[in-house]
Amino acid sequence: MSARAGGRPNFVIGDAQVSPGSRAHIELPIARMPHGAHAWLPCVVVHGRRPGPVLWLSGAVHGDELTGVEVVRQLLEVVSPRTLSGTLVCAPMVNIFGAAVGSRYLPDRRDLNRSFPGSARGSLAGRLAQLFLSEVVQRCDVGIDMHSGSSHRRNYPHVRANLDDPETYDLARAFGPPVVIDAPERSGSLRAEAARIGKPVLLFEGGGPHRYHRDAVDMGVLGTRRVMAHLGMTGPHPNPATAEPIHCVTTRWCRAAGGGLFRSLVELGETVELGQVVGKVADAFGATVATVRARTAGIVIGLQRNPIVFQGDALVHIAIPEAPPGDEPAPDDPSSGDGTD
């Protein structure tokens, strides 16, 4: 960082320097496109007048998950560099390629959140991952990565984090979501690579694809502001978390035993019992094809919202606060493609 006379150092990102007490829009070069124009990763840096931690906020790592875009927009309306202690680095639309066409993936058909740490000489996903890691994550102390349901699924607002790390657990409690899931990092994910280099990360999940859902956006804004207050970047939040979030140890999906039209009989955030009927799959005339029962007791954190389902589709996602007696919890099902970073 370059020092500014009489103040804290400028914040350096890419080729730009952001002076204390100012805000700057930064564009980091990703790649040259087939039509000859350059693609850029847009970021906003809010560099406070006073020293403090550097926090990054990222959204749309999966291009169809837009919750983080709106959370960041609302936060930037209220965060002032004149009163901020530390620095806020915002990248609300990391996967610009997928977001432009409503796809989870990049044009090279890769999942950005399985492409970290990436490579400057790799695939498009690898290059974007390497750029974000080197220019954003490496320059920050802590991060909040925001996701939502994908493939027609909607998620109940919750946080995934490595709760074995005391600092990360404190951040999760400060965020104050209704549910916190002790989730191991998945290989190739942003969260895993950040943890490897010593950067605590919260992964916030809420809402569904292609939409802003108010409950998720409101929780994302509230939780992020609570974390900023916890880190000393702002004054005390007027609505700090008072209740302990429900600590869940793992999750399970309930799947369709047959194809047809799915009708959910539970809502997000609802507590269910082992064996409870949580939905039904019927044919177009209403005849039941399959009854969907809860595979465990727990809290509903994800629901399929597209009625048309195939046999084996993930329909209801249940978070398990603790293993039911005599029932060993199974790990997250990676084939769901949702709710696992």
Residue range 212-259, pLDDT digits in tens: 999 999 999 999 999 999 999 999 998 999 889 999 999 999 999 999
Measured CA angle at 328 (ends 153, 271), to 5 deg: 45
Nearest partner of 127 among 33, 18, 24, judged by Cα:
33
Q: Under a CB-based contact definition with an 8 Å cutoff, are residues 307 and 262 in contact?
A: yes
Residue 339: per-residue pLDDT: 58
Q: What is the pLDDT of residues 142-190, one digit of tens each?
A: 999 999 999 899 999 999 999 999 999 999 999 999 999 999 899 999 9
Indicate whether 294 pLDDT > 50: yes
Q: Are strands 260-264 and 277-282 parallel, antiparallel or unpaired?
A: antiparallel
Task: Write down the residue that tokens 């916890």 correspond to.
Answer: 230
pTM for the whole structure: 0.92
Topology at the third CATH level for domain 249-336: OB fold (Dihydrolipoamide Acetyltransferase, E2P) (2.40.50)
Nearest partner of 234 among 23, 43, 80, 71, judged by Cα:
80
Residue 136: per-residue pLDDT: 98
Nearest partner of 155 among 267, 273, 248, 245, judged by Cα:
267
Looking at the chain, the domain(s) classified CATH 3.40.630.10 span: 11-245
Average pLDDT over the chain reads: 93
Average pLDDT (275-304) is 96
Indicate whether 322 pLDDT > 70: no
- Residue 225 is classified by DSSP as H
CATH class of 11-245: alpha beta
Half-sphere exposure of 207 (CA within 13 A, CB side): 26
Q: What is the pLDDT of residues 75-123, one digit of tens each?
A: 999 999 999 999 999 999 999 999 999 999 999 999 999 999 999 999 9
- Name the maximum alpha-carbon separation found in the chain: 76
Tell me whether residue 166 is exposed, middle or buried, using C-beta atoms within 10 angstroms of its C-beta: 0 to 12, 13 to 18, 19 or more. Answer: exposed
Looking at the chain, the domain(s) classified CATH 2.40.50.100 span: 249-336
Instruction: Output the CA torsion sign for 122, 124, 128, 131.
Output: positive
As a whole number of angstroms, the distance between CA 195 and CA 328 comes to 27
Confidence of residue 332 (pLDDT cuts 50, 70, 90): low
Residue 325: per-residue pLDDT: 44
Higher-pLDDT residue of 289 and 335 is: 289
Measured CA angle at 145 (ends 139, 151), to 5 deg: 145
